[in-house]
Structure 1
Amino acid sequence: MSRIFSFKLWVALSTFALLAACAQPVKHVDYTAFRNSRPHSILVLPPENETTSVQATNSMLSQMTMPLAEAGYYVVPVAVMDETFRQNGLTVPADIQATSPAKLRDIFGADAALYSKITQFGTTYQVVDSATVVTASARLVDLKTGDVLWQGRATANSNEGNNYGGGSLIGMLVTAAVKQIANSVTEKSHDIAAATSYRLLHAGPPNGLLYGPRSPKYGTD
């Protein structure tokens, strides 16, 4: 896939993910601890994988940095995080996530860490149809206090275009994005994971992350 195609696909997925998420019932999130902490930097830990796909962890991990950076946070480079744990004999996500917050802060100097879990990743086949589904949850933890600052859950699937009226703006955006995915030569699950990552980690109301210090919207939420 070319870089131009990847960028266009990301834009399409991001647009329909945000619009579709806004169409869901509003869930009020308590941001008290988040506002008190106001982290500037985030360490993204490898997601735990509860699926049978061996690609799930790396696929999601590779796409979780962008929405956090777009939200205004400095994100510890994934390659640095991965190599540091490997040098210390840690390669299993569950073992990495079991590392104490204080130790993570001491090693990486980050203000907060993102812990995540993948519960669905792949294509499910039915009698007359199939759908590629990626579902994940995450929680942001203050590495100084161990407090949970935010948590959320998101899912995306390749058949979402069938859930909306054909003439609506959301319906057209979803259908266009899904068709683009279907025509791609890459693994569908990886592309759907991009939508899930954005839907899970974007900033803004009603239940997204607070904007970080590098965002022009910092402090407005």
Structure 2
Amino acid sequence: MLKLISLKLVAALSILGLFAACATQPRHVDYTAFKQAQPRSILVLPPLNDTTDVKASEGTLSQMTKPLAEAGYYVIPVALMEKTFKQNGLSAPADIEQVSPARLREIFGADAVLFSKITQYGSVYRVVDSNTVVSASAKLVDLKSGDVLWQKTATASGKELGGVSVNAGGVIGALVQAAVKQVAHSLSDESHAVAGLTSERLLGAGPPDGLLYGPRSPKFGTD
């Protein structure tokens, strides 16, 4: 009986070990199309806002060009992009995304376009805790062929930036701390800072699943 239990325990631990190994495996990314296209310039479109916060798209867009530029790409200036679309009667991200790749290349002369979507933006109240979370996804599309070159999702939270600390014990203390943190998040617009961290995490270059380094980067061709 004892031997049977031991065998079952070993089998269970082996299965758990297998799951743990799978969980730590990096996400496989096929860079074949990316390497063939070798984009030099990127047009960043306003992110689709799938949240209830009206500031989500603008707050994230303002911080998306920095990691792309640091990765070695020329990024079409956001102000120029927005002005051009407004002159053509387009301002909503959903309408802008309907413009064909060929037309975008004709207007802006970019090699690739970045589509993105924000799925979470703002404070999340968990009864005994409060945190600011920003989640987004991005997809890079070649403007010559229309092929998807790369895509990724990323999330960041206010806990990674540090936060308000309230020294209070017990359940009542936890509730007070959560309420104070939620107010502090709103007053300081912590979402904007967290969106910056999400953008860095989402659009940064390098392994295991980031963008390939662009031609302006000293690391170009090393990945």
Give me the TM-score of the superposition, normalised by structure 2. 0.78
Q: Secondary structure at the match of 2:188?
A: coil
Q: Secondary structure at the match of 1:178?
A: coil
Measured in 2, the distance between the counterparts of 1:186 and 1:37 equals: 42
Q: Which amino acid aligns with 1:209?
A: L
For CA contacts below 8 A with separation 6 or more, give which structure has more relative contact order: 1
Measured in 1, the distance between the counterparts of 2:114 and 2:37 equals: 14
| Alignment correspondent of 1:129 | 129
Q: Which amino acid aligns with 2:220?
A: Y
Deviation of the 1:25 alpha carbon: 4.4
Matches within 5 A, 1:97-136: 97-136=97-136
Matches within 5 A, 1:1-221: 25-159=25-159, 174=160, 177-179=161-163, 186-221=188-223
- Which segments of structure 1 move beyond 4 Å, counting only runs of 4 or more? 182-185
Deviation of the 1:203 alpha carbon: 0.1
Q: Secondary structure at the match of 1:153?
A: strand
Measured in 2, the distance between the counterparts of 1:179 and 1:49 equals: 26
Measured in 1, the distance between the counterparts of 2:30 and 2:202 equals: 16
Measured in 1, the distance between the counterparts of 2:137 and 2:69 equals: 18
Q: Secondary structure at the match of 2:99?
A: coil
CA RMSD of aligned residues (A): 1.8
Deviation of the 1:132 alpha carbon: 0.5
Measured in 1, the distance between the counterparts of 2:92 and 2:192 equals: 20
Measured in 1, the distance between the counterparts of 2:149 and 2:206 equals: 15
| Alignment correspondent of 1:3 | none
Give me the TM-score of the superposition, normalised by structure 1. 0.79
Unaligned runs of 5+ in 2: 1-22, 165-180
Measured in 2, the distance between the counterparts of 1:67 and 1:24 equals: 25
Q: Secondary structure at the match of 1:36?
A: helix
Query: How many residues are treated as equivalent by the alignment?
Result: 182
Measured in 1, the distance between the counterparts of 2:162 and 2:42 equals: 31
Deviation of the 1:124 alpha carbon: 1.1
Q: Secondary structure at the match of 2:162?
A: helix
Measured in 2, the distance between the counterparts of 1:189 and 1:210 equals: 28
- Percent identity reads 64
CA displacement, residues 10-52 of structure 1 (integer Å, 9 cap, x when unaligned)? xxxxxxxxxxxxx964111000000000000000000000100
Measured in 2, the distance between the counterparts of 1:82 and 1:95 equals: 13
CA displacement, residues 84-112 of structure 1 (integer Å, 9 cap, x when unaligned)? 00000000101101100000000000000
Unaligned runs of 5+ in 1: 1-22, 160-173
CA displacement, residues 166-205 of structure 1 (integer Å, 9 cap, x when unaligned)? xxxxxxxx4xx3249x889631110100010000000000
